[in-house]
Protein backbone atom coordinates (compact mmCIF):
# COMPACT_ATOMS: atom_id res chain seq x y z
CA UNK A 1 0.00 0.00 0.00
CA UNK A 2 2.89 2.36 -0.68
CA UNK A 3 1.86 5.72 -2.09
CA UNK A 4 1.22 9.42 -1.47
CA UNK A 5 -1.31 8.60 1.26
CA UNK A 6 1.62 7.57 3.49
CA UNK A 7 3.11 11.06 3.23
CA UNK A 8 -0.30 12.58 3.99
CA UNK A 9 -0.69 10.29 7.00
CA UNK A 10 2.73 11.36 8.34
CA UNK A 11 1.79 15.03 7.87
CA UNK A 12 -1.45 14.44 9.79
CA UNK A 13 0.52 12.63 12.49
CA UNK A 14 3.03 15.47 12.80
CA UNK A 15 0.21 18.02 12.91
CA UNK A 16 -1.53 16.11 15.72
CA UNK A 17 1.70 15.84 17.71
CA UNK A 18 2.19 19.61 17.34
CA UNK A 19 -1.39 20.49 18.22
CA UNK A 20 -1.42 18.33 21.35
CA UNK A 21 2.04 19.42 22.51
CA UNK A 22 3.41 15.90 22.16
CA UNK A 23 6.04 16.65 19.49
CA UNK A 24 8.67 17.94 21.93
CA UNK A 25 7.92 15.12 24.41
CA UNK A 26 8.43 12.45 21.75
CA UNK A 27 11.57 14.04 20.24
CA UNK A 28 13.13 14.42 23.69
CA UNK A 29 12.27 10.84 24.64
CA UNK A 30 14.02 9.56 21.51
CA UNK A 31 16.92 11.99 22.05
CA UNK A 32 16.39 13.01 18.41
CA UNK A 33 19.28 14.82 16.68
CA UNK A 34 18.84 18.32 15.25
CA UNK A 35 18.25 17.16 11.66
CA UNK A 36 15.39 14.90 12.71
CA UNK A 37 13.87 17.61 14.91
CA UNK A 38 13.87 20.05 11.98
CA UNK A 39 12.25 17.46 9.68
CA UNK A 40 9.60 16.57 12.27
CA UNK A 41 8.70 20.17 13.04
CA UNK A 42 8.55 20.91 9.29
CA UNK A 43 6.02 18.10 8.87
CA UNK A 44 4.00 19.27 11.85
CA UNK A 45 4.08 22.98 12.54
CA UNK A 46 2.78 24.45 9.23
CA UNK A 47 -0.11 21.95 9.24
CA UNK A 48 -0.88 22.18 12.95
CA UNK A 49 -4.47 23.18 12.19
CA UNK A 50 -4.98 19.79 10.44
CA UNK A 51 -4.12 17.84 13.59
CA UNK A 52 -6.64 16.07 15.79
CA UNK A 53 -7.44 17.88 19.01
CA UNK A 54 -7.66 14.89 21.33
CA UNK A 55 -8.66 14.93 24.98
CA UNK A 56 -7.04 17.94 26.74
CA UNK A 57 -7.30 16.14 30.09
CA UNK A 58 -4.70 13.55 29.00
CA UNK A 59 -0.89 13.94 29.01
CA UNK A 60 0.37 15.20 25.61
CA UNK A 61 1.74 11.90 24.23
CA UNK A 62 -1.25 9.85 25.36
CA UNK A 63 -3.63 12.52 24.07
CA UNK A 64 -2.04 12.53 20.59
CA UNK A 65 -1.88 8.75 20.25
CA UNK A 66 -5.48 8.20 21.30
CA UNK A 67 -6.61 10.92 18.85
CA UNK A 68 -4.75 9.25 15.95
CA UNK A 69 -6.69 6.01 16.24
CA UNK A 70 -6.38 2.23 16.71
CA UNK A 71 -3.03 1.54 15.03
CA UNK A 72 -1.32 4.36 16.93
CA UNK A 73 -2.89 3.22 20.22
CA UNK A 74 -1.62 -0.30 19.69
CA UNK A 75 1.80 1.05 18.62
CA UNK A 76 1.95 3.10 21.82
CA UNK A 77 1.10 0.03 23.90
CA UNK A 78 3.84 -1.98 22.20
CA UNK A 79 6.34 0.87 22.64
CA UNK A 80 5.52 0.91 26.35
CA UNK A 81 7.25 -2.50 26.47
CA UNK A 82 10.45 -0.93 25.06
CA UNK A 83 11.83 1.59 27.59
CA UNK A 84 15.20 0.95 25.93
CA UNK A 85 13.82 2.79 22.88
CA UNK A 86 11.47 5.47 24.26
CA UNK A 87 12.94 6.02 27.71
CA UNK A 88 11.40 5.31 31.10
CA UNK A 89 9.28 8.46 31.36
CA UNK A 90 7.48 8.09 28.04
CA UNK A 91 7.16 4.31 28.52
CA UNK A 92 5.38 4.97 31.82
CA UNK A 93 2.95 7.40 30.12
CA UNK A 94 2.26 4.92 27.33
CA UNK A 95 1.43 2.11 29.76
CA UNK A 96 -1.77 3.91 30.74
CA UNK A 97 -3.04 4.06 27.15
CA UNK A 98 -6.64 2.93 26.99
CA UNK A 99 -7.95 1.47 23.76
CA UNK A 100 -11.64 1.80 24.59
CA UNK A 101 -13.31 2.90 21.36
CA UNK A 102 -16.93 3.25 20.20
CA UNK A 103 -18.39 -0.21 19.48
CA UNK A 104 -19.63 -1.33 16.09
CA UNK A 105 -23.24 -2.59 15.76
CA UNK A 106 -24.32 -5.97 17.14
CA UNK A 107 -25.75 -6.92 13.74
CA UNK A 108 -22.33 -6.51 12.13
CA UNK A 109 -20.80 -8.79 14.76
CA UNK A 110 -23.52 -11.41 14.17
CA UNK A 111 -22.90 -11.28 10.42
CA UNK A 112 -19.16 -11.79 11.03
CA UNK A 113 -19.93 -14.81 13.23
CA UNK A 114 -22.29 -16.20 10.56
CA UNK A 115 -19.75 -15.79 7.77
CA UNK A 116 -16.63 -16.91 9.68
CA UNK A 117 -18.10 -19.93 11.47
CA UNK A 118 -20.58 -20.84 8.73
CA UNK A 119 -23.40 -21.17 11.26
CA UNK A 120 -26.73 -19.55 12.00
CA UNK A 121 -26.12 -17.60 15.25
CA UNK A 122 -29.79 -17.91 16.20
CA UNK A 123 -29.50 -21.71 16.18
CA UNK A 124 -26.27 -21.81 18.20
CA UNK A 125 -26.76 -18.96 20.69
CA UNK A 126 -29.72 -18.58 22.96
CA UNK A 127 -28.57 -15.05 23.83
CA UNK A 128 -26.14 -12.66 22.12
CA UNK A 129 -25.69 -9.31 23.90
CA UNK A 130 -24.77 -5.85 22.76
CA UNK A 131 -20.99 -5.16 23.05
CA UNK A 132 -19.76 -5.32 26.65
CA UNK A 133 -16.25 -4.04 25.78
CA UNK A 134 -14.84 -2.38 22.66
CA UNK A 135 -11.10 -2.01 22.06
CA UNK A 136 -8.89 -0.90 19.16
CA UNK A 137 -8.84 -4.27 17.38
CA UNK A 138 -11.93 -6.16 18.54
CA UNK A 139 -14.98 -6.06 20.78
CA UNK A 140 -16.53 -8.61 23.13
CA UNK A 141 -20.12 -9.87 23.43
CA UNK A 142 -21.69 -11.96 26.16
CA UNK A 143 -23.64 -14.97 24.84
CA UNK A 144 -25.24 -18.22 25.98
CA UNK A 145 -24.97 -21.53 24.09
CA UNK A 146 -28.35 -22.99 23.19
CA UNK A 147 -27.37 -26.66 23.56
CA UNK A 148 -25.60 -26.51 26.95
CA UNK A 149 -26.69 -23.20 28.46
CA UNK A 150 -23.03 -22.28 29.08
CA UNK A 151 -22.14 -18.58 29.16
CA UNK A 152 -19.42 -17.57 26.71
CA UNK A 153 -17.49 -14.47 25.67
CA UNK A 154 -17.29 -13.88 21.92
CA UNK A 155 -14.47 -11.69 20.64
CA UNK A 156 -15.03 -10.29 17.14
CA UNK A 157 -12.54 -8.28 15.05
CA UNK A 158 -13.57 -4.81 13.91
CA UNK A 159 -14.73 -4.60 10.28
CA UNK A 160 -11.91 -3.49 7.96
CA UNK A 161 -9.38 -3.38 10.81
CA UNK A 162 -6.76 -5.34 8.83
CA UNK A 163 -6.77 -2.77 6.00
CA UNK A 164 -6.69 0.16 8.44
CA UNK A 165 -3.72 -1.28 10.28
CA UNK A 166 -1.91 -2.15 7.06
CA UNK A 167 -2.25 1.47 5.89
CA UNK A 168 -0.86 2.91 9.11
CA UNK A 169 1.92 0.33 9.44
CA UNK A 170 3.09 1.24 5.92
CA UNK A 171 3.26 4.86 7.07
CA UNK A 172 5.29 3.75 10.10
CA UNK A 173 7.78 1.99 7.80
CA UNK A 174 8.12 5.19 5.77
CA UNK A 175 8.77 7.18 8.95
CA UNK A 176 11.43 4.67 10.05
CA UNK A 177 13.21 4.93 6.70
CA UNK A 178 13.12 8.73 6.92
CA UNK A 179 14.69 8.53 10.39
CA UNK A 180 17.49 6.33 9.04
CA UNK A 181 18.02 8.73 6.14
CA UNK A 182 17.84 12.05 7.99
CA UNK A 183 19.41 11.06 11.30
CA UNK A 184 22.14 8.39 11.01
CA UNK A 185 22.92 8.83 14.71
CA UNK A 186 19.37 7.68 15.54
CA UNK A 187 20.03 4.30 13.91
CA UNK A 188 21.15 3.07 17.35
CA UNK A 189 17.40 2.94 18.14
CA UNK A 190 16.94 0.55 15.20
CA UNK A 191 13.66 2.14 14.05
CA UNK A 192 13.04 -0.41 11.28
CA UNK A 193 13.51 -3.27 13.75
CA UNK A 194 11.03 -1.64 16.15
CA UNK A 195 8.44 -1.32 13.37
CA UNK A 196 9.00 -4.93 12.29
CA UNK A 197 8.48 -6.03 15.90
CA UNK A 198 5.24 -4.03 16.04
CA UNK A 199 4.16 -5.43 12.67
CA UNK A 200 4.65 -8.97 13.97
CA UNK A 201 2.68 -8.28 17.17
CA UNK A 202 -0.22 -6.76 15.21
CA UNK A 203 -0.33 -9.60 12.69
CA UNK A 204 -0.63 -11.98 15.62
CA UNK A 205 -3.49 -9.99 17.16
CA UNK A 206 -5.31 -9.67 13.85
CA UNK A 207 -5.54 -13.45 13.55
CA UNK A 208 -7.58 -14.65 16.51
CA UNK A 209 -6.58 -18.25 15.77
CA UNK A 210 -3.13 -17.37 17.12
CA UNK A 211 -4.59 -15.88 20.31
CA UNK A 212 -6.83 -18.95 20.66
CA UNK A 213 -3.77 -21.17 20.35
CA UNK A 214 -1.82 -19.09 22.88
CA UNK A 215 -4.72 -19.31 25.32
CA UNK A 216 -4.88 -23.09 24.94
CA UNK A 217 -1.12 -23.49 25.45
CA UNK A 218 -1.19 -21.21 28.50
CA UNK A 219 -4.14 -23.16 29.94
CA UNK A 220 -2.30 -26.48 29.47
CA UNK A 221 0.86 -25.15 31.13
CA UNK A 222 -0.99 -23.75 34.14
CA UNK A 223 -3.63 -26.45 34.64
CA UNK A 224 -2.05 -27.56 37.94
CA UNK A 225 -1.49 -24.04 39.32
CA UNK A 226 -3.62 -23.69 42.45
CA UNK A 227 -5.78 -20.56 42.55
CA UNK A 228 -5.28 -19.71 38.86
CA UNK A 229 -7.56 -20.24 35.91
CA UNK A 230 -7.59 -19.62 32.17
CA UNK A 231 -11.04 -19.59 30.50
CA UNK A 232 -11.82 -22.68 28.43
CA UNK A 233 -11.59 -22.23 24.67
CA UNK A 234 -14.43 -23.32 22.34
CA UNK A 235 -12.36 -24.33 19.30
CA UNK A 236 -15.30 -25.09 17.00
CA UNK A 237 -16.70 -21.60 17.59
CA UNK A 238 -13.41 -19.84 16.88
CA UNK A 239 -11.76 -18.75 13.64
CA UNK A 240 -9.51 -16.03 12.21
CA UNK A 241 -11.94 -13.20 13.07
CA UNK A 242 -13.98 -14.77 15.90
CA UNK A 243 -12.83 -16.22 19.23
CA UNK A 244 -15.18 -17.92 21.71
CA UNK A 245 -14.20 -18.79 25.27
CA UNK A 246 -15.76 -19.45 28.63
CA UNK A 247 -17.33 -16.39 30.26
CA UNK A 248 -15.13 -15.24 33.17
CA UNK A 249 -17.32 -14.05 36.02
CA UNK A 250 -15.41 -12.16 38.68
CA UNK A 251 -14.23 -8.85 40.14
CA UNK A 252 -11.66 -6.80 38.24
CA UNK A 253 -8.29 -6.76 40.00
CA UNK A 254 -8.46 -2.96 39.88
CA UNK A 255 -11.64 -2.81 42.00
CA UNK A 256 -10.06 -2.96 45.46
CA UNK A 257 -13.27 -1.92 47.25
CA UNK A 258 -15.24 -4.78 45.67
CA UNK A 259 -12.45 -7.26 46.48
CA UNK A 260 -12.58 -6.16 50.12
CA UNK A 261 -16.38 -6.31 50.19
CA UNK A 262 -16.23 -9.89 48.89
CA UNK A 263 -13.95 -10.83 51.79
CA UNK A 264 -10.90 -11.86 49.73
CA UNK A 265 -7.42 -11.88 51.30
CA UNK A 266 -5.58 -9.17 49.35
CA UNK A 267 -2.17 -10.13 50.78
CA UNK A 268 -2.59 -13.69 49.50
CA UNK A 269 -3.83 -12.42 46.12
CA UNK A 270 -0.91 -9.99 45.70
CA UNK A 271 1.66 -12.66 46.54
CA UNK A 272 -0.04 -15.20 44.28
CA UNK A 273 0.00 -12.86 41.25
CA UNK A 274 3.76 -12.38 41.58
CA UNK A 275 4.48 -16.03 42.35
CA UNK A 276 2.43 -17.22 39.37
CA UNK A 277 4.12 -14.83 36.95
CA UNK A 278 7.60 -15.97 38.02
CA UNK A 279 6.55 -19.61 37.75
CA UNK A 280 5.20 -19.09 34.24
CA UNK A 281 8.35 -17.24 33.10
CA UNK A 282 10.88 -19.63 34.67
CA UNK A 283 9.10 -22.98 34.71
CA UNK A 284 7.25 -22.75 31.37
CA UNK A 285 9.11 -20.05 29.45
CA UNK A 286 5.69 -18.81 28.30
CA UNK A 287 4.12 -15.94 30.19
CA UNK A 288 1.28 -13.43 29.92
CA UNK A 289 3.04 -10.26 28.77
CA UNK A 290 0.08 -7.91 29.33
CA UNK A 291 -0.81 -8.87 32.90
CA UNK A 292 -2.31 -5.57 34.09
CA UNK A 293 -5.38 -5.20 36.35
CA UNK A 294 -7.78 -5.01 33.41
CA UNK A 295 -6.73 -8.49 32.25
CA UNK A 296 -7.11 -10.12 35.68
CA UNK A 297 -10.29 -11.01 37.56
CA UNK A 298 -10.86 -12.48 41.02
CA UNK A 299 -13.45 -15.28 40.97
CA UNK A 300 -15.98 -15.83 43.75
CA UNK A 301 -13.83 -18.65 45.19
CA UNK A 302 -10.70 -16.43 45.16
CA UNK A 303 -9.14 -17.86 41.98
CA UNK A 304 -7.26 -15.42 39.75
CA UNK A 305 -8.60 -15.52 36.18
CA UNK A 306 -6.37 -14.32 33.32
CA UNK A 307 -7.83 -12.74 30.17
CA UNK A 308 -6.62 -11.44 26.78
CA UNK A 309 -3.77 -13.51 25.36
CA UNK A 310 -2.85 -11.30 22.39
CA UNK A 311 0.60 -10.43 23.78
CA UNK A 312 2.54 -13.37 25.24
CA UNK A 313 6.22 -13.63 26.10
CA UNK A 314 8.47 -16.60 25.44
CA UNK A 315 11.91 -17.47 26.85
CA UNK A 316 13.95 -20.45 25.67
CA UNK A 317 15.32 -22.81 28.31
CA UNK A 318 18.86 -21.46 28.15
CA UNK A 319 17.68 -17.87 28.65
CA UNK A 320 15.54 -18.97 31.60
CA UNK A 321 18.52 -20.56 33.28
CA UNK A 322 20.62 -17.45 32.75
CA UNK A 323 17.83 -15.21 34.04
CA UNK A 324 17.35 -17.40 37.14
CA UNK A 325 21.08 -17.42 37.92
CA UNK A 326 21.21 -13.63 37.58
CA UNK A 327 18.26 -13.18 39.96
CA UNK A 328 19.67 -15.77 42.36
CA UNK A 329 23.07 -14.05 42.33
CA UNK A 330 21.46 -10.74 43.20
CA UNK A 331 19.37 -12.34 45.97
CA UNK A 332 22.60 -13.73 47.49
CA UNK A 333 24.54 -10.51 46.68
CA UNK A 334 27.07 -12.61 44.77
CA UNK A 335 27.90 -9.96 42.16
CA UNK A 336 30.97 -11.81 40.90
CA UNK A 337 28.77 -14.80 39.97
CA UNK A 338 26.23 -12.50 38.29
CA UNK A 339 29.08 -11.05 36.22
CA UNK A 340 30.38 -14.53 35.32
CA UNK A 341 26.90 -15.57 34.16
CA UNK A 342 26.73 -12.58 31.81
CA UNK A 343 30.12 -13.48 30.29
CA UNK A 344 29.34 -17.22 30.07
CA UNK A 345 26.06 -16.46 28.27
CA UNK A 346 27.82 -14.15 25.81
CA UNK A 347 25.68 -11.21 26.90
CA UNK A 348 28.78 -9.10 27.56
CA UNK A 349 31.71 -9.23 25.08
CA UNK A 350 34.70 -11.27 26.25
CA UNK A 351 37.07 -8.32 25.84
CA UNK A 352 35.40 -6.47 28.74
CA UNK A 353 36.88 -6.50 32.27
CA UNK A 354 34.89 -8.95 34.42
CA UNK A 355 36.04 -7.37 37.70
CA UNK A 356 35.00 -3.93 36.53
CA UNK A 357 31.65 -5.33 35.45
CA UNK A 358 31.16 -6.99 38.85
CA UNK A 359 31.82 -3.63 40.55
CA UNK A 360 29.23 -1.98 38.31
CA UNK A 361 26.72 -4.69 39.25
CA UNK A 362 27.36 -4.06 42.94
CA UNK A 363 26.52 -0.41 42.32
CA UNK A 364 23.20 -1.61 40.86
CA UNK A 365 22.31 -4.07 43.61
CA UNK A 366 23.42 -2.47 46.87
CA UNK A 367 21.20 0.67 46.70
CA UNK A 368 18.16 -1.49 45.93
CA UNK A 369 18.84 -3.93 48.76
CA UNK A 370 19.37 -0.98 51.05
CA UNK A 371 15.76 0.07 50.51
CA UNK A 372 12.85 -0.79 52.75
CA UNK A 373 11.57 -4.25 51.77
CA UNK A 374 8.26 -2.83 50.58
CA UNK A 375 10.04 -0.65 48.00
CA UNK A 376 12.35 -3.27 46.51
CA UNK A 377 11.54 -3.91 42.85
CA UNK A 378 12.82 -6.65 40.55
CA UNK A 379 11.56 -4.61 37.61
CA UNK A 380 13.70 -1.66 38.70
CA UNK A 381 16.65 -3.99 39.26
CA UNK A 382 16.38 -5.38 35.73
CA UNK A 383 16.03 -1.87 34.34
CA UNK A 384 19.23 -0.71 36.07
CA UNK A 385 20.92 -3.94 35.04
CA UNK A 386 20.16 -3.28 31.36
CA UNK A 387 21.60 0.22 31.67
CA UNK A 388 24.86 -1.21 33.02
CA UNK A 389 25.09 -4.03 30.48
CA UNK A 390 24.52 -1.52 27.67
CA UNK A 391 27.57 0.42 28.88
CA UNK A 392 29.57 -2.80 28.67
CA UNK A 393 28.47 -3.54 25.11
CA UNK A 394 25.54 -5.92 25.66
CA UNK A 395 23.17 -5.77 22.64
CA UNK A 396 19.46 -5.23 23.28
CA UNK A 397 17.54 -8.47 23.85
CA UNK A 398 13.87 -7.87 23.10
CA UNK A 399 12.62 -10.89 25.06
CA UNK A 400 14.37 -9.69 28.25
CA UNK A 401 13.05 -6.14 27.78
CA UNK A 402 9.53 -7.59 27.49
CA UNK A 403 10.14 -9.64 30.63
CA UNK A 404 11.35 -6.56 32.52
CA UNK A 405 8.37 -4.48 31.42
CA UNK A 406 5.93 -7.23 32.43
CA UNK A 407 7.73 -7.60 35.76
CA UNK A 408 7.09 -3.89 36.44
CA UNK A 409 3.38 -4.28 35.59
CA UNK A 410 2.99 -7.43 37.72
CA UNK A 411 4.72 -5.77 40.67
CA UNK A 412 2.31 -2.86 40.26
CA UNK A 413 -0.67 -5.23 40.39
CA UNK A 414 0.74 -7.02 43.46
CA UNK A 415 1.37 -3.76 45.30
CA UNK A 416 -2.07 -2.39 44.42
CA UNK A 417 -3.53 -5.47 46.12
CA UNK A 418 -1.10 -5.47 49.06
CA UNK A 419 1.16 -2.36 49.34
CA UNK A 420 3.40 -3.93 52.02
CA UNK A 421 4.41 -6.91 49.86
CA UNK A 422 8.08 -7.96 50.06
CA UNK A 423 8.96 -8.78 46.45
CA UNK A 424 12.17 -10.68 47.22
CA UNK A 425 10.59 -12.70 50.02
CA UNK A 426 7.92 -13.92 47.61
CA UNK A 427 10.33 -14.47 44.70
CA UNK A 428 13.15 -16.27 46.51
CA UNK A 429 11.45 -19.72 46.91
CA UNK A 430 10.40 -19.72 43.23
CA UNK A 431 13.90 -18.85 42.01
CA UNK A 432 15.60 -21.30 44.40
CA UNK A 433 13.29 -24.14 43.35
CA UNK A 434 14.02 -23.44 39.69
CA UNK A 435 17.77 -23.39 40.40
CA UNK A 436 17.55 -26.75 42.21
CA UNK A 437 15.59 -28.35 39.38
CA UNK A 438 17.40 -26.86 36.39
CA UNK A 439 20.99 -26.05 37.37
CA UNK A 440 23.31 -28.70 38.80
CA UNK A 441 23.78 -32.51 38.58
CA UNK A 442 20.06 -33.25 38.30
CA UNK A 443 19.68 -30.92 35.32
CA UNK A 444 22.88 -32.26 33.73
CA UNK A 445 21.59 -35.85 33.74
CA UNK A 446 18.24 -34.66 32.37
CA UNK A 447 19.98 -32.77 29.55
CA UNK A 448 22.10 -35.83 28.72
CA UNK A 449 19.00 -38.04 28.65
CA UNK A 450 17.30 -35.56 26.34
CA UNK A 451 20.36 -35.58 24.05
CA UNK A 452 20.36 -39.39 23.94
CA UNK A 453 16.65 -39.39 23.03
CA UNK A 454 17.38 -37.08 20.09
CA UNK A 455 20.23 -39.34 18.95
CA UNK A 456 18.01 -42.41 19.35
CA UNK A 457 15.57 -41.00 16.80
CA UNK A 458 18.39 -41.21 14.24
CA UNK A 459 19.12 -44.85 15.17
CA UNK A 460 17.71 -46.39 11.97
CA UNK A 461 19.68 -43.88 9.88
CA UNK A 462 23.03 -44.26 11.68
CA UNK A 463 24.36 -47.21 9.55
CA UNK A 464 23.63 -45.37 6.30
CA UNK A 465 25.08 -42.10 7.67
CA UNK A 466 28.26 -43.98 8.74
CA UNK A 467 28.52 -45.65 5.30
CA UNK A 468 28.07 -42.31 3.49
CA UNK A 469 30.74 -40.74 5.70
CA UNK A 470 33.22 -43.54 4.93
CA UNK A 471 32.49 -43.32 1.18
CA UNK A 472 33.01 -39.55 1.16
CA UNK A 473 36.23 -39.96 3.13
CA UNK A 474 37.49 -42.49 0.59
CA UNK A 475 36.56 -40.20 -2.32
CA UNK A 476 38.33 -37.25 -0.68
CA UNK A 477 41.47 -39.38 -0.16
CA UNK A 478 41.45 -40.39 -3.83
CA UNK A 479 41.08 -36.76 -4.85
CA UNK A 480 43.95 -35.76 -2.58
CA UNK A 481 46.09 -38.60 -4.01
CA UNK A 482 45.29 -37.46 -7.54
CA UNK A 483 46.14 -33.85 -6.69
CA UNK A 484 49.40 -34.90 -5.06
CA UNK A 485 50.25 -36.95 -8.21
CA UNK A 486 49.67 -33.96 -10.48
CA UNK A 487 51.75 -31.78 -8.21
CA UNK A 488 54.77 -34.18 -8.44
CA UNK A 489 57.77 -32.42 -10.19
CA UNK A 490 58.11 -35.13 -12.87
CA UNK A 491 54.42 -34.96 -13.76
CA UNK A 492 54.49 -31.14 -13.77
CA UNK A 493 57.53 -31.16 -16.06
CA UNK A 494 55.93 -33.65 -18.45
CA UNK A 495 52.70 -31.69 -18.64
CA UNK A 496 54.63 -28.45 -19.22
CA UNK A 497 56.60 -30.03 -22.08
CA UNK A 498 53.42 -31.37 -23.65
CA UNK A 499 51.71 -27.99 -23.47
CA UNK A 500 54.79 -26.26 -24.94
CA UNK A 501 54.92 -28.76 -27.85
CA UNK A 502 51.24 -28.24 -28.62
CA UNK A 503 51.61 -24.46 -28.60
CA UNK A 504 54.70 -24.48 -30.88
CA UNK A 505 52.99 -26.93 -33.26
CA UNK A 506 49.95 -24.69 -33.42
CA UNK A 507 52.12 -21.67 -34.23
CA UNK A 508 53.81 -23.48 -37.14
CA UNK A 509 50.49 -24.68 -38.50
CA UNK A 510 49.19 -21.13 -38.50
- CA 269 to CA 303: how far, in whole Å? 9
Plot region of 440 (φ>0 → left; ψ -120 to 50 → alpha; else → beta):
left
Q: Using alpha carbons, select from 119, 85, 55, 351 the residue that is nearest to residue 198.
A: 85
CB 386 within 8 A of CB 401: yes
- CA 227 to CA 207: how far, in whole Å? 30
Q: CB within 8 A of 235, min separation 6: which ones?
A: 212, 216
DSSP state of 283: I
Q: What is the DSSP string of 70-100?
A: HHHHHHHHHHTT-HHHH-HHHHHHHHT----
Catalytic residue chosen out of the listed positions 170, 225, 290, 308: 290
Q: Which residues pair with 246 in a beta bridge?
A: 152
- CA 365 to CA 371: how far, in whole Å? 10
Q: Are strands 138-145 and 125-134 parallel, antiparallel or unpaired?
A: antiparallel
C-beta atoms surrounding 487 within 10 Å = 9
Q: Is 255 a catalytic residue?
A: no
CB 170 within 8 A of CB 13: no
Q: CB within 8 A of 189, min separation 6: which ones?
A: 30, 85, 179
Catalytic residues: 290
Amino acid sequence: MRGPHNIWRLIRTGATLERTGAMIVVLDAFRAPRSLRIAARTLGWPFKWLGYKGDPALPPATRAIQALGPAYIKFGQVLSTRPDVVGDELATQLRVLQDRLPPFPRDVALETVRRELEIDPNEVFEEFSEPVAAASIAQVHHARLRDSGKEVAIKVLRPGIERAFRRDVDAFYLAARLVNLLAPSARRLRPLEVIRHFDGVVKGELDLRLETSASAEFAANTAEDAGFRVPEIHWFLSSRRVMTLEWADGISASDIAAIDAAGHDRKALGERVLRLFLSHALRDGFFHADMHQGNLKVARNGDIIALDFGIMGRLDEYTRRVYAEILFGFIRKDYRRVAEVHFEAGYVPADQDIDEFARALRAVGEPIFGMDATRISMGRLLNYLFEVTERFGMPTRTELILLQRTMVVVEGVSRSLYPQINIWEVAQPIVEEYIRENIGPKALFRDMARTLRVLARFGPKLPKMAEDTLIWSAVEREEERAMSLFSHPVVVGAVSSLVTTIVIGAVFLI
